[in-house]
Amino acid sequence: MRTALIRYSPLLILAIAWQLIAHFELVSSTALPPLTQIGGAWLELLRSGDLLKNAAPSLYRAGAGLMLAVAVGAILGIAMAWWRPVNVALGPLVEAFYPMPKSALIPVTVIWLGFGDGSKILLIFLGCMLPVTIGAYNGARSTEQVLVWSARCMGAGRLRMMWDVVVPSALPELFNGIRTALALAFILMVTSELIVAREGLGNLIGYLGANGSYAAMYAVVLTVALMGFAADRVYQALTQRLLAWRETGLA
């Protein structure tokens, strides 16, 4: 507890500095509303239901897109590592599209699926799939040959070997890829909602900003930032537990 306090004290210092600067109006209070006021605005948003009403579709979009990306990406990556034809066919495409800035797809997904949930889910799916694919591919490729031979020796069929040998040894890299995808999912969720949407947290931020309710806007911005942070922490704790069987921790 005490070590945590010392460790995170810089954040506390920043928060106090923020409050003091805003309190004494060193910068204009529209540009930097005091934290207490932001807290009040946050409670107000919570009470009126605006926060929950907009958080639900946002999280649904990010969750659905990410789930799809993980499922398809993992299968694709492992298939690329283990069946040569798949690799030859898809490898160059993955390589060509990996560096593509995914925010460029926002207008296209809107053309295809309109302004609702579908276009955001598609965008998040497309954006998150490649990091997962590459993670799964690198992980599956690095399976120790000895393990594969022993499994084969003990009479494991192709699918059985896939499930019992290749998938577990691909997990650490795959989890790393999913972590990147998780961060990307939040980024794409907010960006797409800021640019085109009728509801969602990104849209709420844009709406409040355009209205001049800056304290409320700050409240939503900080909420999304903290949600991204919390999701990452929960994910890390989860994967560490799932990988507890490994001899060494994640390097």
Partner 1 sequence: MNTARRLARAAAWGAAHLGGIVALLVAWELFARSGAVTMFMLPPFSAVAERIWTDAVGGTLWINIGLTLYRAFAGFLLASVIGVGLGVAMARTRLARWFFDPIISVGFPMPKVVFLPVIILWLGVFDVSKVTMVTMEAIFPVVTATVLGIEGVGHELIWSARNMGAKDRELLWQVLLPAAFPQIMTGIQVALPIALIVAIFTEMAMGGFGLGGVMMQASRFADSRGVFAGIVEIAVVGYFAVLALVVLRRRLLRWHQEASAPSTV
User: Applying CB under 8 A, which of residues 65, 135, 139, 228 lies at the interface with partner 1?
Assistant: 228
Residue 235: partners with Cβ closer than 8 Å, 6 or more residues away? 178, 179, 182
Binding mask 140-179 for partner 1 (x = CB under 8 A): ----------------------------------------
Q: Is 111 in the site for partner 1 (CB under 8 A)?
A: yes
Binding mask 14-53 for partner 1 (x = CB under 8 A): x---------------xx----------------------
Centre a 10 Å sphere on the Cβ of residue 241 and count the other Cβ atoms it contains. 8
Q: Is 114 in the site for partner 1 (CB under 8 A)?
A: no
| Distance between CA atoms of residues 78 and 56, nearest Å | 33
Residue 139 amino acid letter: G
110 vs 151, beta carbon nearer partner 1? 110
Q: Is 105 in the site for partner 1 (CB under 8 A)?
A: yes
> Hunting for tokens 């799932």 — which residue is that?
242
User: Applying CB under 8 A, which of residues 1, 2, 3, 7 lies at the interface with partner 1?
Assistant: 7
Q: Is 10 in the site for partner 1 (CB under 8 A)?
A: yes
151 vs 170, beta carbon nearer partner 1? 170
| Distance between CA atoms of residues 133 and 10, nearest Å | 37
Centre a 10 Å sphere on the Cβ of residue 44 and count the other Cβ atoms it contains. 15
Q: Please, what is the minimum distance in Å from the beta carbon of residue 159 to partner 1?
A: 27
Compute CA 30 distance to the chain's CA centroid, rounded to the nearest angstrom. 31
User: Applying CB under 8 A, which of residues 83, 97, 115, 149 lies at the interface with partner 1?
Assistant: 97
Which residues in 210-225 are b (16+ Cβ under 10 Å) and which e? eeebbbbbbbbbebbe
Q: Please, what is the minimum distance in Å from the beta carbon of residue 89 to partner 1?
A: 6
Environment class of 132 (CB within 10 Å of its CB; exposed 0-12, middle 13-18, buried 19+): buried
Q: Please, what is the minimum distance in Å from the beta carbon of residue 244 to partner 1?
A: 22
Q: Please, what is the minimum distance in Å from the beta carbon of residue 49 to partner 1?
A: 21
Residue 51 amino acid letter: L
Q: Is 249 in the site for partner 1 (CB under 8 A)?
A: no
| Distance between CA atoms of residues 130 and 214, nearest Å | 36
Nearest in space to 187 (alpha carbons), one of 62, 97, 99, 98: 62
Q: Please, what is the minimum distance in Å from the beta carbon of residue 150 to partner 1?
A: 26
Residue 172 is given by DSSP the state H
- Site residues, partner 1 (CB under 8 A): 7-11, 14, 30-31, 88-93, 95-108, 110-112, 183, 186-187, 189-191, 194-195, 202, 205-206, 209, 214, 217-218, 221, 224-226, 228-229, 231-233
